[in-house]
Amino acid sequence: MTEITVRQEPLPPAIERFVVAWGEMGEVWGVNRSVSQIHALLYVSDRPLSAEEIAERLRLARSNVSTSLRELMSWSLIRRVSALGDRRDFYEAEADVFEMVRRIAANRKTREIDPAIAALRQCVASAEGDARVSAEVRKRFQSMLDFTEGVARSFDEILQLPTPVLQRLIKMGGAIARFAGLTTGRKSKRGPAADP
């Protein structure tokens, strides 16, 4: 059986710009550009795409696409799907933006915040019995650990909120802080440096 390759049309300018921009943003966040571009292409695709289609549309090496797809699947941002009568694997992205952001955030927490907490706990425990570590340094370790654990707890709570609740919170923006009495909501015309 011979596989027939169909030449893909160029991406529409809006989609090409999105794929390029998502790739650039991914690099800023520490994600490989190809991984980010493949995710972007799948996110805006109306149908699942095969690895061959992805490679052709983005002009990437097939091996690069395969590695990137595995990474995206490890983040649960895409899933493999089958097509009746086709032995190839196809891929589609999570289309719900809130679910996508939840998954990215949960993975980042697991890879970045959780190890930081573990390291800080070790520092606190090690400093406790060491007379060479001053009380001030022990206090700083504990302060940083308390802050990081608090952020992690808040993060977990926010990630568990139902999507409609998250949508309302985002729409409320700074109104939440004003409601809690944490800010007046007035913007200084002099700028932040001029405020006392």
Q: For the domain that residue 32 is a member of, what is the CATH number?
A: 1.10.10.10
Please measure the distance between the N-terminal and C-terminal CA atoms of the chain and give it in whole angstroms.
Answer: 76
Of 105, 41, 103, nearest to 69 (Cα)? 41
The reply to whether the predicted model has a pTM over 0.85 is: no
| Number of independent structural domains in the chain | 2
Question: Rounded to an integer, what distance in angstroms lies between the CA atom of residue 24 and that of residue 30?
Answer: 10
Q: What is the pLDDT of residues 81-139, one digit of tens each?
A: 998 888 899 999 999 999 999 999 999 999 999 999 999 999 999 999 899 999 999 99
pLDDT band at 150 (very low <50, low <70, confident <90, very high): very high
Q: Using alpha carbons, list the distances in angstroms from residue 69 to 49, 60, 61, 110, 194.
A: 11, 12, 12, 20, 49
Please identify, among 64, 93, 122, the residue that sits at the C-terminal boundary of a domain.
Answer: 93
Residues 134 and 160 in one domain: yes
Say which residue the tokens 């049309």 belong to. 9
Residue 138: domain span: 97-179
Task: Collapse the DSSP code of 187 into the 3-class scheme (helix H, G, I; strand E, B; otherwise coil) and give the result.
Answer: coil
Question: Rounded to an integer, what distance in angstroms lies between the CA atom of residue 32 and that of residue 37?
Answer: 9
